[in-house]
Structure 1
């Protein structure tokens, strides 16, 4: 029985998947199985995957049902004690599984394990994740005191840098397949409400935001978002959760406003306690679509050309 089950959901990533898979086989820790779920790709992704010959690979081809269903199938097939997730255009440094293993051995009763990661916008623009009140490069193993508060800038739990004990899914259940945008956030909230979260502040993974067909390029009308009503009871009594959810509400509201859907934007805004957000957030949401598009273009130019990353969350 492998210690790790690694799950890669795959949809039309022929240009990225080879590097992603190779980053798995470059791991210092070799006690794993690799489960690749091809979610109905129409490009040459399958050809790339089948070019790797290794008995640790399990490959499944399904009809296109979305990333949550693909991950859930992987979870059902997994035999390992720890399930590690990796998206098909992200990649790991060789220490990733070793760090997760050390973290789990130190904190065996947690429900979620995470590591530090970097966000890659281009070859010139790579930024270490910014966790609130936690030094992401301190090379420490810790229990996160307040998962929701610490995730108010960059998320403590980013899917390609996370692992979950398989036993946790017996209690929490799987990814919510009715959500197409934020299904991972939904799962992390459910876990964090019932279990402790452990973090290793070692850089082990790269979030490849330069890759094509990321979810932001999908028509907003085709997305189903985080179902905030699931946590209505908990957020009334958990200040940090309420703030965390408000940050997510704001992000969705802003996305709708930029797309021109003012009705949906206002729907998400009405449940926000604005004191929970930075003054820059409050200013931005009041701007017309034309200004928001201009600011977004400026932000993109600063990141890709000058390597300057601006955020309205700090």
Structure 2
């Protein structure tokens, strides 16, 4: 039985999946199985995947049911006690599994262990994550993972390992959340509220923000977002969690105002304690949709000039 089961949901990533899988098979820690769930791809993703002739690769095909269902099937098929996730267009450095296995061994009480990561932007520049309350070289149990996730998320899907038994306790990914609208965030919150979190500041993965990875605002109405209200009881006593969720609510509110869905905008906005938001974010939330659309256009245009603006901080 392998030590790691690596779950990779795959949907129309023919241009990326070879490099992603190559980064898996280049790991210094090689006691693993790779479970690729082809979620109804219509391109050459299958051909690219099956070009790897490695006995550790297990390949399954389903009709298109979404990323949550694909991950849940991967968990079901996993034979290892430790489950790692990798998106089909992201990348692991060779030390990724070795680093997280050591973290797991050092902190066996943790239900989830995670490493740091970096962003590869569309212009091929690298952006480092920001965690203001975690010193360089840190490796250990995080007191409150939400408190350190106010700029970037400490728990990111391609950088975590979860004990399989944890899913038996907290349940699977929520299939009602679709098209990358918060299903991973929902899961990591559920785990972090129930189990200790071990984290290392060491960068072992790369989150690749290619243009093909971004979901446009015009698609917002086709997505089912995490409502976030399932954590109301926990928010009442966990102030960092409340602030963390309010930042997500602000993001979701922006998206729905841009898409013209004012009812859903109000749902998220009215749940926010605006003291948890920056003055810039509060000001933007009050703007009419046409102003936000103009600002969004300018933000997108500035990306081409390698100027990046974060409206949430």
Quote the offset at 1:150 in angstroms: 1.1
SS in structure 1 at match of 2:52: coil
1:128 CA displacement: 1.1
Q: Partner of 2:162 in structure 1?
A: 164
Q: Which residue of 2 aligns with 1:311?
A: 310
The Cα shift of 1:296 comes to 2.3
Tell me if the contact between 2:217 and 2:258 (Cα under 8 Å) persists in the aligned partners: no
Which 4+ runs in 1 deviate beyond 6 A? none
- Supply the distance in 2 between the matched residues of 1:211 and 1:89 (Cα, whole angstroms): 11
Relative to 1, partners in 2 of residues 1:59 and 1:214: Cα closer, same or farther, differing over 3 Å?
farther
Maintained 8 Å contact 2:217/2:255: no
Partners of 2:226 and 2:300 in 1: CA distance: 26
What does 1:1-314 correspond to in 2, within 5 Å?
1-135=1-135, 138-180=136-178, 181-216=181-216, 219-306=219-306, 308-314=307-313
Q: How far, CA to CA, are the matches of 2:215 and 2:41 in structure 1? A: 15
Whole-Å separation in 1 of the counterparts to 2:214 and 2:108: 33
| Unaligned runs of at least 5 residues, structure 2 | none
Which string of whole-angstrom CA distances, capped at 9 and with x for unpartnered residues, describes residues 30-88 of structure 1? 11100000000011100111111000000000011100000000001111121110001
Deviation at 1:246, TM superposition (A): 0.9
Q: Distance in 2 between matches of 1:134 and 1:29?
A: 26
How far apart, CA to CA, are the structure 2 residues paired with 1:208 and 1:189? 23
Please identify, of 283-292 and 158-167, the stretch whose mean Cα deviation from structure 2 is larger. 283-292
Is the 1:122–1:304 contact (alpha carbons within 8 Å) kept by the matching residues of 2? no
Q: What is the rounded CA distance, in whole Å, between the counterparts of 1:294 and 1:204 in structure 2? A: 37
Question: For each residue in 1:239-296, what CA deviation from the matched residue of structure 2 results, as whole angstroms up to 9, or x when unmatched?
Answer: 1111111111111000111122222212210111000111111011112223322322
Give the conservation status (yes or no) of the 8 Å contact 1:12–1:44: yes
Change (3 A) 1:219 1:123: closer
Deviation of the 1:213 alpha carbon: 4.3
Unaligned runs of 5+ in 1: none
Q: Distance in 2 between matches of 1:266 and 1:255?
A: 12
Q: CA deviation at 1:221?
A: 1.6
Does the CA contact (< 8 Å) of 1:16 and 1:211 recur in 2?
no
Taking structure 1 as reference, are residues 250 and 49 closer, same or farther at Cα in structure 2, changes over 3 Å only? same
> 1:141 deviation in Å?
1.1
CA separation in 1, counterparts of 2:80 and 2:124? 37
Do the aligned residues in 1 keep the contact of 2:72 with 2:173 (CA within 8 Å)?
yes
Question: In structure 2, what is the Cα distance between the partners aligned to 1:29 and 1:123?
Answer: 31
TM-score between both structures, scaled by the size of structure 1: 0.94
Bigger drift between 279-288 and 123-132 goes to 123-132
Computed over aligned residues only, the root mean square deviation of the Cα atoms, in angstroms, reads: 1.5
Number of residue pairs the alignment of both structures matches:
311
